[in-house]
Structure 1
Amino acid sequence: MSGKTTTLYTLSAQAPSAPPEGRHVAPPGTTLTFARAARELRLRRTEFDLAVDLGRIRTVPGEKDGNGGRRVAQEEIERLRADEGFPENVRERVRTLGTQEGAELMGVTTARFTRFARLGLVVPVTFHLNRYRAVVWLYLAEEVQRFATDASNAPLLTGCTPQGLRDQLEAGLDLRPRNWRGRHLRFLLRRTEDPWARAGAMASLLDPHLVAELVPDPYERAHLDRHRPDRPAALLPDSPAARITADVMTAEDPDEIDWLRACLEQEVAAARRHRPAPRPTPSLSPVQPPGAAPRTRRGLHPAAPAPDPARRRRLLRWLGRGRTRPCGPAPRGRHRAAGVSSTAP
């Protein structure tokens, strides 16, 4: 276990300072932002977010719309505060462990704990990169404890790993990334009911080129991208850490990809029916009724009709027939407007 992970675990176990006595309590029916609710519950933001993802803290849609901007009702804050042992009980339910701490809690070696995780017997709940850009998986302490106390798992904890499981490990089986993606997708879907946001959550786990094939319309794809969940903000684009994180967050198994493709197509179809993707509105000229005279730009007076080339040629031929006036023929190029007799200079 890296020193960085140990530091994170130690910090998360420390309780923030309690709020001052006589704090202001919002009236019933009030909803709070996640940041404000975390302060009210005396939880770190990472602890609060994980509690929301796990369903330990219930959320409601925001006041402006029901498609995003989840908030926490004041009644939920008071419910959690009324529990015995608050806030340590809430913090304990979201406590995470790395490989070393998990092995110690199970009473096994770190190598055996890693084999359990690769086989999918324990599922990671989150991950981060250490200073060596290695993926550090974290597990829920209560799930590790449950696995260790389950009597049916005693042969795995003390005996030899069955031959079938050893064969899978020797073949390179590692279900940690896939199991995390499945869990992460459930977390994302729990936070929203909007079809576009649900489709964006599924698209976030697929290769962008595959998403472009499944959603060929550029306007729909742009709208889908706006509803993708945010990637870790601390990572610089195209950095090694960002590429490693993208690899973990992108499905790679064929059956996993096929399942996500089918789900994405269904969610995009539902999103189209629910609310079509916005498109640019073309500038439309005023529609004229059939047979109406064309109008000028301001629409106040009829515009002059377009000149008829054949009529103009006939008029020029008529003027050039040699009609004279008492003072002689009119000089060329000194005609007035069409239809008016020419005058001598």
Structure 2
Amino acid sequence: MSGNTITSTAAEATRTAPGAASRRTSLALSGAVRELDLRRGEFELAVQLGYVRTVPGETGGRRVTRAELDRVRGEEDFPDSLRKRVEVMGTRDGAALMGVSPARFTRFARLGLIVPVKWYLNRYQAVVWLYLAEELRQFATGEANAPLLAGRTPQGLRDQLDGGLDLRPRNWRGRHLGFRLRETDDLWAKAAVVASHLDPAQVEETVRDPYERAELYRLRPTQAVPGSPDSPAARIAARITTADDDDEIGWLRADLAQAVVEARRYRPAPGAPSAQPAGPPGGVSARQEPPMRADPTSSRGMFGWLRRGSS
């Protein structure tokens, strides 16, 4: 009698809590941080770089399966090996690691030879760029880079620097775009990621339907910056996160147009009619589809674009 009662109670609990099994086999991100013995920033970077894989949660957000936690914990020399892969450095420490002066290190970064992975504002409202230590080691030990590390900067590169070239914001945007696109499987959310790096006026010119723009703005990821929207910090963040040259803007607008076409096929934006008239040239509509472009998150697409910016 008691065995039947226990079985019945367990079955009833499963019926009343359909997500219980999923919660038992996966953890919220905060729980995964503790399980992997990482700092929050280390964990976030490990997810962005693909070292820790996440899955969509039943009620939104992302989770980490216990199988994935076991896989990561089973790696050799865990957690030190994972911490080494997500270690970041600023200019001074990065220059010391590479055996160059901070000024030379900054020149490398401005030329796009090394790509920042994060940034923040210090108490003086100055931008502090952070780089993956592992990538700096690879650059420093690369045979082809030896002349840059010890010799005089080539004249062509010096001319670009004298002209004010600084690819750090653009390269960070390209890298961040790839991170964000991998965080979601929702096609409208992917389109919103692309739109987040464009000025609102450019989004309006590219996406003519107001309902679709509203969906993009609703799903638009935000950069956490202290202070009010009109604060100096917010203005600096806007300059870093928003595309600012014609080549990059054109790339993003074409990708946004294609992303909206694909998202519309998946599902219409809330409130939008199922079929829309063609908009003016340069906009995207149900009857006007831009040509396919290379995936900006692939190494050949996005980072090829970034390298072209340093040529």
Bigger drift between 210-219 and 152-161 goes to: 210-219
Matched, 1:61 2:83: no
Provide the residue aligned with 1:299 in structure 2.
none
Structure 2 match to 1:99: 91
TM-score, scaled to structure 2: 0.78
Deviation at 1:280, TM superposition (A): 8.9
Structure 2 distance, partners of 1:129, 1:232, is 11
Shift in Å, 1:28: 10
Q: Is 1:269 the equivalent of 2:261?
A: yes
Equivalent residue in structure 2 for 1:43, among 31, 38, 41: 38
Aligned counterpart in structure 2 of residue 249 of structure 1, from 205, 230, 241: 241
Counterpart of 1:139 in structure 2 is: 131
Shift of 1:216: 2.7
- For residues 200-248 of structure 1, give each alpha carbon's deviation from its aligned partner in whole angstroms, at most 9, with x where no partner exists: 0000000012112222322221111111112205342111001100110
Name the SS for the 1:146 alignment partner: helix
CA deviations on 1:231-266 (whole Å, 9 max, x unpaired) are: 205342111001100110000010100010000011
Distance 1:144 1:75, change over 3 A: same
- CA drift of 1:27 comes to 9.6
Structure 1 residues without counterparts, runs of 5 or longer: 1-25, 282-345
Aligned length: 253
Question: 2:189·2:219 contact (CA, 8 Å) conserved in 1?
Answer: yes
| Contact 2:225–2:233, Cα closer than 8 Å, also in 1 | no
- CA drift at 1:115: 0.5
Partners of 2:90 and 2:150 lie apart in 1 by 21
From 64, 72, 95, the counterpart of 1:72: 64
For 1:207, the equivalent position in structure 2 comes to 199
Please report the RMSD computed on the Cα atoms of aligned residues, expressed in angstroms: 1.9
Contact 2:192 2:217 in 1 (8 A): yes
Distance 1:267 1:49, change over 3 A: same
In percent, how many aligned pairs have the same letter?
Answer: 63
Letter in 1 for 2:36: L
Q: Which has the higher helix share?
A: 2
- Cα-to-partner distance string for 1:266-301 (whole Å, 9 max, x where unaligned): 1111111111111299xxxxxxxxxxxxxxxxxxxx
- CA change 1:205–1:82 in 2 (3 A) is same
* Secondary structure of the structure 2 residue equivalent to 1:71: strand
Q: TM-score, normalised by structure 1?
A: 0.70
Q: Which runs of 5+ in 2 are unaligned?
A: 1-20, 274-311
> Counterparts of 1:264 and 1:157 in 2: how far apart (Å)?
39
Please give the alpha-carbon distance, in whole angstroms, between the structure 1 residues aligned to 2:269 and 2:250: 25
TM-aligned CA deviation for residue 96 of structure 1: 0.3
CA contact (8 A) 1:58 1:72 kept: yes
Counterpart Cα distance in 2 of 1:141 and 1:79: 24
Aligned to 2:216: 224
Q: 1:280 to 1:56 in 2, by over 3 A?
A: closer
State which structure, 1 or 2, has the greater radius of gyration over its C-alpha atoms.
1
Task: Flag the structure with more relative contact order, 1 or 2, with Cα contacts below 8 A and sequence separation at least 6.
Answer: 2
2:251 equivalent to 1:259: yes
- 1:296 is aligned to none
Report Cα offsets for 1:316-340 as digits up to 9, x if no partner: xxxxxxxxxxxxxxxxxxxxxxxxx
Mapped to 2, the partners of 1:270 and 1:83 lie a distance apart of 38
